[in-house]
Amino acid sequence: MNLLLLICGGSIGAISRYLVGLAIMKRYSNPPFPVAMLIVNLIGSFGLGAFFGINYQLIPLGAYNDPLYLSIGIGFFGAFTTFSTFSVEAFQLYNNKLWKKLILYVTLSIFGSILTFLIGLNLGVYFY
C-alpha cells in the first residue's frame, strides 16, 4: 500500500513539475538563468512547508507510515521539486563559465528554497 501511495503522489508531482516548467519556459523563453526550475523548486519548498505546518505543525520525524505524508510529502513534493535538474543546470552554468549567473542561481535556489519552506511552514501553522 505504501508503494502505491508513493507512486500516485510521485506521478502527479512529476507531471505537475513538467507542466509548470513548460508554462514558465513559455512565458520566459530566454531567461538569464534556469528560472523555470528555480520557480518550481521555490513553489515546491513553500508547498511542502505549508503541508507540514497545516498537517503536523512541525517537521514530522518517523512519519513514514502516515499515508498522507507518503503520498503528498514524499511522493508529490519529492517528485515536484528536483535537486538533480538543479545540479545539471548549475553545472551547465559552471561549464560555460557564467560565474555570476551560477552564483545567483545556486544562492537563490538553496537559500530561497529554505526561506520559502520556512514561510510555508509558519503560515501553515498559523492557519492551522
Euclidean distance between CA atoms 78 and 90, whole angstroms: 20
pLDDT, position 98:
96
Cite the beta strand spans of the chain per DSSP E: none
How much is the pTM? 0.92
Euclidean distance between CA atoms 128 and 112, whole angstroms: 24
Is 107 annotated as ligand-binding? no
For residue range 55-73, what is the model confidence (pLDDT) as tens digits? 998 887 877 789 999 999 9
What count of other Cβ atoms lies within 10 Å of the Cβ of residue 54? 16
What is the average per-residue pLDDT within 95-113? 97
- Closest Cα partner for 41 from 121, 114, 124? 114
